[in-house]
Structure 1
Amino acid sequence: MNTRQLLRSFTAAVFLFGLFSSQPALSTQVRDYEVVESLQNVFEEVVEKVKPAVVNISTVSEVEIKHPPIPPEFRNFFHDFGFPFPEIPRRFETRSLGSGFIVKVEDGWAYILTNNHVVSKAKKIKVKLSDGSVYKAKVVGTDPKTDVALIKIKVGDKKVPVVEIGDSDRIKVGQFVIAIGNPYGLNWTVTHGIISAKGRHGLGLNPIENFIQTDAAINPGNSGGPLCDIHGKVIGINTAIVRNAQGLGFAVPINIAKKVMDDLLKYGKVIRGWLGVYIEDVSPSLAKKFGVKEGVLVTKVMPNSPAEKGGLKAGDIIVEFNGEPVKNVTDLQLKVINTKPGEEVKITVIRDGKRKVLKVKIGQMPGTQSLAHVDLMSKFGFSVQPLTPDLKSKLRVPKWVKHGLIVTEVSSGSSADDAGLREGDIIVAAGVTPKDLRPVKSVDDLLSIIKKAGSSGVLLKVVRGEGVIYVVLNPED
């Protein structure tokens, strides 16, 4: 039963109660209307509170179409008749719409949470506020694993509304929710419903899934918009729908999105814990054999992983993580990735029919370094890779250069292009001023210096050919 049906049933029940009540009919109807109006007022207040902080996001992306090769005989046909062979376009611009909401304003920048699929591969991003003003947006960082992205717009001294973040771990099935977004370009559309389920996974939408399911109407264009509770607090990011189905919408829990946002702002990438095991859910028959109700089966342990170093073995059934029960594969994955790398945890397993407690030091999930490269490209328009001995030899880098980052790509018109960086340059040191230049050995080194420099720009010491030059990399306005 959806919310509208629930309200109709509720109103009908109250009306019938009034008919058979000993109180006067007129008095009963007044009370009935007061109850319904109080519920209506709640929805109105939430919309008035949240709607101003919801934004419309429009993007322009470039899509490359790979046409099949044209046989020579067809090319000759055009040539024989004196016509030039027609050029078939391989790149097309596509436009799309999405939603987002302002979560933070700092140093003249307004930060907006949305979905990764709304802004991924976008060449241009424009954000329209509820007052009609339009701004060019920049990507702060993205996380494809959870389909969360953080973008920002330069608002200067302008006061812009900000949403209030809720706690998605405390929500319950059956609670009222309100979705706000821009479905089919219909700006700032409001729908309502209830939380239909929590912890939905296995949908094949994201690598990491722990969705809130709702029957609030969500359509294309709602992606990235907020899902709010009746207090006007955002508890999720509307993300996906099931095609040709009614009442099946899914949202990323705000607690997951908040961690992504905090990591992107603090580290320039998403930091996740890593165990290093292949796992699968325990079947009912297997659970019965091992005498457990729930857990996950370890099918393989990666060499030199935290799991191997901690003593985990294939065939173990993990039943507890730091004293908390492990329900299924998704539950364990979320527990691990939300653990800070370097932290020691206790993992309880069933091995040979006996309980065994292992101490495992959680590692950092491989692949987070690549997000730092994406961050450099999205913010400053250039990408790099570490200087290896093999590259030093192939590129004939001066012998005195022991470490650094090779610039592998520079986008035209970007901050890096304006600064004078070129492909093949080697960044060997960076700092806010000449006095505090320090060696750059990794992308993390460079990102931390850039973050420290802030709006003042960062000084780069660059090896180009046999010589050394200095360039100033300024953040884009």
Structure 2
Amino acid sequence: MKTTFMKSTLAAACCAALALGAAFVPAEPAHAISFGSSETKAELPDFVKLVEENGPGVVNISVIKNARTVDVPGFGIPGFDERHAEIFRRFGFPMPFEFGGGKERIPEQRGTGSGFIISADGLIMTNAHVVEGADQILVRLTDKREFQGKVLGTDKQTDIAVVKIDAKDLPVLKIGDSSQLKVGQWVAAIGSPFGLDNTVTAGIVSALSRNLPSDQYVPFIQTDVAVNPGNSGGPLFNMQGEVVGINSQIFSTSGGFMGLSFAIPIDLAMQVKDQLVESGSVTRGYVGVYIQELTQELADSFGLKTPQGALVTKIEKDSPAEKAGLKEGDVITSFNGKKVTSSVTLPMIVSTMKPGTKADMTVVRDKKEMTISVTVGTNAKAAQEAAGAANSHKLGVTVRPLTKEELVQADTSGLLVEQATGFAAKNGIMPGDIIVSANGKLVKSVSDLQAACQKDQVLLLVQRQGGRIFVPIRFTDDEKDAKK
């Protein structure tokens, strides 16, 4: 549509000039066509320079999940045996589970996404869902060089991942300030939709701080930039060539672009990145309240002019909120100087705060405004889950400490394996195993296991169904330092 419009405009301009007997003046180039009077000109943006300068910093990420065999549960129907199962098979009825359980072979799976370089020595940011469960990660640059990638850490809550490649002197993208974005501002995306490297699309910011039902920690940037499968993890640029977001999701009824795409603000992404690089996991602030959205009727009941704020419905026992004196029925209208516009705003604000930080809350209680100070804490359960997930980036296991009941039943201490991929799965580690020791030292925490996996190999003592076996694991890539 733009090309057709520009051609017809230029033709009309030429005809008008000739009819008036005026000298022909070449029209302005397409990237600088002006509209309106000389006092108020609007120009179409020029993306050429932006792409030339920043395209080399965008990478294609290909992932491979190896073929594997998983256990399939049995029917579990009393009186149902192999004879009944055979009747089902002969008459063509679907058999989602084999009688008595069995094994299912899952073939190799491949996927593709995008990422961008944030340090000259090979740090790359992308989406967590792009590299989730990957056994092999291949990063391809615009100059066709390819590197094996290693995941330093992922955060599913914000869909952020950091990947490392062994390289030097790489082109680095400039990081912008997403808090300065305005609705209607031009933005551009570079990525690999459907595997087509360095594809450029553009549009405008449609909305800011958009809250999606599945994400309570991310105030998404909504745009109308064309984003499709494979764009995930790629950068969103402002017109200064600065990264202001990471393309993450689209709204679609067909699986393709429909004018609604969502990017993670780069300010939040960089906070998450710093923690992932430092420790491999993310620790979030926590105050321990259950909240609900305000309606106009509720706002009237609590003495509020507008239905803005977070209504407290429950206080967790021994939580920072309880210690601070917060009560059920309080309406939190601001936290640490930031306005709480809705119930989804509060978790976003609190989660980005460092545990131990003191903050003031503005609270409406009994139709009167008051200030309450709280010391932000840590959700112990979430921290434990994050620590367990953090270890999976090298060994390939998600683990957690044993519960009191499991300690008694297993008659041992250690870490319970909840998921096994990568090196762990290749060497026979399975969900349900208990890692008792690593390199001869008892494993009492996730940090103990992480410390043991810092070198090129580790010797694990694993307990399985009452028996114990030693499992040696060597961390080597089939194509280490590959450069093609």
TM-score tier, shorter chain, comes to 0.7 to 0.9
Any stretches of 5+ residues in structure 1 without a counterpart? 80-84, 398-403, 431-436
Asked if 1 retains the 8 angstrom alpha-carbon contact of 2:6 and 2:30, the reply is no
* 2:387 corresponding residue in structure 1: 372
Give the direction of change, closer, same or farther, for the CA distance of 1:291–1:33 in structure 2 (3 Å limit): closer
Q: Tell me the secondary structure at the aligned position of residue 154 of structure 1.
A: coil
* 2:229 corresponding residue in structure 1: 220
Deviation per residue, 1:62-119 (Å, 9 max, x gap): 686969859624537999xxxxx9999542332221111111244xxx1211111111
Q: Tell me the secondary structure at the aligned position of residue 58 of structure 1.
A: strand
Distance 1:358 1:429 in 2: 50
* 1:277 corresponding residue in structure 2: 289
Deviation per residue, 1:438-457 (Å, 9 max, x gap): x975334665x579x7xx67
Cα deviation, residue 60, structure 1: 2.2
Cα deviation, residue 120, structure 1: 1.2
**Structure 1: which amino acid aligns with 2:309?**
G
Distance 2:388 2:196 in 1: 36
* Cα RMSD after superposing both structures: 4.5
Alignment of 1:20-419 (within 5 A): 29-30=26-27, 35-36=32-33, 42-61=46-65, 72-75=83-86, 89-106=104-121, 110-155=122-167, 158-201=168-211, 203-244=212-253, 246-289=258-301, 290-293=303-306, 294-365=308-379, 366-382=381-397, 384-386=399-401, 394-396=409-411, 405-406=414-415, 408=417, 414=423
Give the direction of change, closer, same or farther, for the CA distance of 1:424–1:97 in structure 2 (3 Å limit): closer
Distance 1:406 1:66 in 2: 24
Distance 1:352 1:412 in 2: 54
Asked if 2 retains the 8 angstrom alpha-carbon contact of 1:296 and 1:319, the reply is yes
Deviation per residue, 1:279-324 (Å, 9 max, x gap): 1221123223413332111111112211111111111111121233
Asked if 1 retains the 8 angstrom alpha-carbon contact of 2:118 and 2:172, the reply is yes
Q: Would you say how many aligned residue pairs link Structure 1 and Structure 2?
A: 441
Cα deviation, residue 427, structure 1: 4.2
Give the direction of change, closer, same or farther, for the CA distance of 1:100–1:331 in structure 2 (3 Å limit): same
Asked if 2 retains the 8 angstrom alpha-carbon contact of 1:100 and 1:113, the reply is yes
Q: Tell me the secondary structure at the aligned position of residue 47 of structure 2.
A: helix
Distance 1:259 1:7 in 2: 44
Deviation per residue, 1:247-288 (Å, 9 max, x gap): 211111111111111111112210110111111221123223
Asked if 1 retains the 8 angstrom alpha-carbon contact of 2:415 and 2:446, the reply is no
Identical positions, percent:
37
Distance 1:221 1:302 in 2: 41
* 1:82 corresponding residue in structure 2: none
Cα deviation, residue 394, structure 1: 5.0
Give the direction of change, closer, same or farther, for the CA distance of 1:329–1:6 in structure 2 (3 Å limit): farther
* 1:401 corresponding residue in structure 2: none
Asked if 1 retains the 8 angstrom alpha-carbon contact of 2:417 and 2:434, the reply is yes
Asked if 2 retains the 8 angstrom alpha-carbon contact of 1:183 and 1:221, the reply is yes
Give the direction of change, closer, same or farther, for the CA distance of 1:140–1:76 in structure 2 (3 Å limit): same
Asked if 1 retains the 8 angstrom alpha-carbon contact of 2:216 and 2:347, the reply is no
Alignment of 1:444-463 (within 5 A): 444=447, 447=450
Give the TM-score normalised by structure 1: 0.77
**Structure 1: which amino acid aligns with 2:304?**
G
Distance 1:415 1:65 in 2: 17
Asked if 1 retains the 8 angstrom alpha-carbon contact of 2:435 and 2:443, the reply is no
Distance 1:115 1:413 in 2: 19
More displaced stretch, 290-299 vs 43-52: 290-299
* 2:94 corresponding residue in structure 1: none
Any stretches of 5+ residues in structure 2 without a counterpart? 35-41, 76-80, 91-97
Cα deviation, residue 346, structure 1: 1.0
Distance 1:368 1:243 in 2: 33
Distance 1:165 1:384 in 2: 34
Cα deviation, residue 417, structure 1: 8.8
Give the direction of change, closer, same or farther, for the CA distance of 1:77–1:261 in structure 2 (3 Å limit): closer
Distance 1:65 1:222 in 2: 34
Give the direction of change, closer, same or farther, for the CA distance of 1:8–1:105 in structure 2 (3 Å limit): same
Give the direction of change, closer, same or farther, for the CA distance of 1:141–1:475 in structure 2 (3 Å limit): farther
Distance 1:65 1:213 in 2: 41
Give the TM-score normalised by structure 2: 0.76
